[in-house]
Amino acid sequence: MTDRPSGSELFGDAGEPRQGSLDTHEILIGLVQALFPRKPYCLVEDWTIFNIDATEEEQQKIQAAGQLPLILFAHNVLFDSQRRFDVGDWVRSTFAVSFEEGFLFETRNTVYVLKGPGHEKSASLKTVFSFF
């Protein structure tokens, strides 16, 4: 996963600016371990949260699965607790199950800790999955 997609090719306009945590890696790791014990976590930066513009049927399926219509894409992995990703890799999440404090993006399998500035924008499910 060393080649990262080009942000300008994939995202066009940047979307709405958002701010992740400014805390140190050590503080964030301690926090995520305390709040989500035994759950893998991944610190990321240069991120975009996609609000999925889903059809009514897609929305119902997402909600029925206990998920939110949010998907995370991050250009830069800073640390992955299970070493699934190398530092500098990009990552795209599955649907969120929670999004807390504006920087803790939880999926069924992982908590993504959003560091520094990022963006939020809307996109169709088809478009988001076609990117990656």
Domain ranges of the chain: 16-131
3-state SS class at 33: helix
Question: E strands of 2-69, at which residues?
Answer: 16-19, 41-53
Q: How far apart are CA 127 and CA 59, in angstroms?
A: 16
pLDDT in tens, 7-63: 433 456 678 999 999 999 999 999 999 999 999 999 999 999 999 998 899 999 999
For residue 29, give the DSSP letter: H
pLDDT in tens, 53-92: 988 999 999 999 999 999 999 999 999 999 999 999 999 9
Q: How far apart are CA 89 and CA 5, in angstroms?
A: 10
**Which candidate, 127, 93, 115, 114, places its Cα nearest to that of 10?**
127
